[in-house]
Chains A and B, each alone.
Chain A
């Protein structure tokens, strides 16, 4: 039992990332009808806003401390981050420590802007072009974004620590009444799951309970009629593109401490997220979330040694295998509407 719970927990953090990226992809597909291969790159950009803020906060000036010497016997050079000198030791170091959660605040406007600019600059021209063209142009865009990041940050993964309070693990099993050390779970992954749950419910609440969301949903169902009612649906869809980019960006920001960001992390997630979207059903938002978590958890189950000993290699292919089975038996996906993209 504890082994099963542990695997479910292990799958949740990856599942959260899949769900958040897939949610954005589905939003874009459902509103604009565009297949966005650059979405993984946006996820990567999100992770790099965290890296950037971390670096900015750590910018320091060098003073020479004549009272101490380094190992060569020369006066020691002490690096003091500007933040520390401005706000004092405890507050300054606290801010540096909380770089990743703080980047959430910065990444939302940045990602909204990037999404907006991308849509207005390039994707706008591709509404009436075939899906193949959309895939190709966004793929090219993804390469460009990826290479720009590589030019600035290099090709190596950049470790970005979580706040000290959330480093390490806690004994989750004790809460559920298992003996000690049965289920050990890192704090930050728990945070990541809770965070993604909040973001996902935020997006759903936004779409369901606001007038803006209502118009967007109406536009998803019948764009033409909404346009005929005198609503500028294109503008709202552009904003939705920005929101989808922000969701992917947030997923990236919070993922930075779990996996040190590198420039091709977006591509790694992109393929899987597409599979997630298709399994959930093209254009179905709850489907994307459900499939994201489902595939994340299944992937983690498949990597259990007990299962690997029966079916070797299953952990490598389980997601693709499920996608193939779903596509062949139920092409509209788990929760796709009947008749939408069903051929």
Chain B
């Protein structure tokens, strides 16, 4: 079975991804409502939207970093620009999300074209510093001089008095919600069966469909001659230049594409919650997407999505574990031991979850340079090696002579 110009393997891969994405609201609610483990459920709309949106952001970042090896430390700028443009569209034109998202992609694409055109003159750490400098400039300007455009520290919000030319006059007196041709983004259908509560949210499915589309595009890019050229840039740019290839258009295209992905993610963030603040552009936000990509596995298709999901999950779930929850867990133990364990775990959860993240991150970069994907592959390889002896058995194979000169 081949679909959309993909090979058999990729088609299957894409279908699995589509299935997983669409079934997320069910798959992420494995624990029964009211049980002690219910807090590990991730199937609520806000978090699922983040999975999809940051997944898009990381997939886009991976097209640049994973394929070309150019480490941009300023990608959050495009996310922020996307958010601002989308909110402006909500303010001026209509609360329908489509124009907002289109504008977000276009504006961030243009912005990426400008920054990439300048930054890509340098490579390596200089490129990282250049992108960082541009992002910090945008962040600082958004806070200070560009206040008429960005509303400074308060952040850009929609108001009742905004014109919204395409929407009819607002008579309800309450703030309108973002919608897709009348289908409100914060609308959900709640179903309860098997004691589990499943929430099917419009906003999530909208983001999920977007994520599937851009995942497909990224898959095509990875498998295309263009993607091959980007990989060649990563492997040896000098040699590529000597063979007479001008690599700049390729890297610039990759940069703009990943900028547009970031813009789309920013636009979607604004579509879920019509609010845009400058902190989305800060360099720590850029660092976050780098962490997601590396943690999942740079240069792989699934890695960035896994990394994004992983970090967002921990951010939401780990940060909610407080001392009461811990006392509940260890409640069966003797009091002294219970208090000791709670004190021991306390710094790593709740407000301190960043500590866990940082340590995990150091360990992953040290021992699993390929990220979670490599970890999965290693485990799979381990199982395969274990299973092999069942059939043939090592006894029947001639033992390899030690220290054979080769």
Contact = CB atoms under 8 A, between A and B. Distances in A.
B129 A323 contact: yes
Contact of B122 (A122, A271, A331): A331
A98 B71 CA distance: 45
A131 B71 CA distance: 9
A278 B129 contact: yes
A343 B122 contact: yes
Given A316-B143, A320-B134, A282 B362 contact: no
B132 A136 contact: no
Interface string A312-323: 110011001101
A22 to B, nearest CB: 13
B333 interface: no
Interface string B367-380: 00100000000000
Contacts of A328: 118, 121-122
B352 A129 contact: no
B140 A316 contact: yes
Contacts of A129: 369
B125 A282 contact: yes
A116 interface: no
Q: Chain B at the A interface: mostly helix, strand, loop or mixed?
A: helix
A19 B284 CA distance: 23
Given A139-B287, A343-B122, A327 B358 contact: no
A133 interface: yes
Nearest to B364: A140
Contact of B366 (A35, A125, A130, A278): A125
B164 interface: no
A263 to B, nearest CB: 10
Interface string A267-288: 1000100110010001000000
B67 to A, nearest CB: 13
B129 A131 contact: no
A142 to B, nearest CB: 8
B123 A136 contact: no
B19 interface: no
A107 B269 CA distance: 45
Most chain-A Cβ atoms within 10 A of its Cβ — which of B126, B145, B347? B126
Contacts of B331: none
B126 A327 contact: yes
B78 interface: no
- Range for the number of chain B residues in contact with chain A: 35 or more
Interface string A131-163: 111011101111110111011000000000000
A343 B123 contact: yes
A271 B132 contact: yes
Contact of A316 (B141, B287, B357): B141
A131 B128 CA distance: 10
A150 B126 CA distance: 31
Q: Is the interface of A mostly helix, strand, loop or mixed?
A: helix
B127 to A, nearest CB: 9
A324 interface: yes
A264 to B, nearest CB: 9
B123 A324 contact: no
Contacts of A143: 354-355, 357-358, 361
B126 A321 contact: no
B175 interface: no
Given A131-B124, A132-B71, A327-B129, A320 B137 contact: yes
A91 interface: no
A117 interface: no
A64 interface: no
B133 A320 contact: yes
A100 to B, nearest CB: 28
28 contacts: A130-B69, A132-B71, A135-B71, A136-B294, A136-B361, A137-B366, A139-B287, A139-B290, A139-B361, A143-B357, A146-B358, A147-B354, A148-B355, A151-B352, A275-B133, A278-B126, A278-B129, A313-B141, A316-B137, A316-B143, A320-B133, A320-B136, A320-B137, A323-B129, A323-B130, A324-B130, A343-B122, A343-B124
Interface of B: 65, 69, 71, 118, 121-126, 128-130, 132-134, 136-137, 140-141, 143-146, 283-284, 287, 290-291, 294, 347, 352, 354-355, 357-359, 361-362, 365-366, 369
Interface of A: 35, 122, 125, 129-133, 135-137, 139-144, 146-148, 150-151, 267, 271, 274-275, 278, 282, 312-313, 316-317, 320-321, 323-324, 327-328, 331, 341, 343
In the complex, the 9 A-B pairs of residues with the closest C-beta atoms, listed nearest first: A313-B145, A143-B358, A140-B361, A316-B140, A147-B355, A320-B133, A144-B358, A140-B362, A137-B365
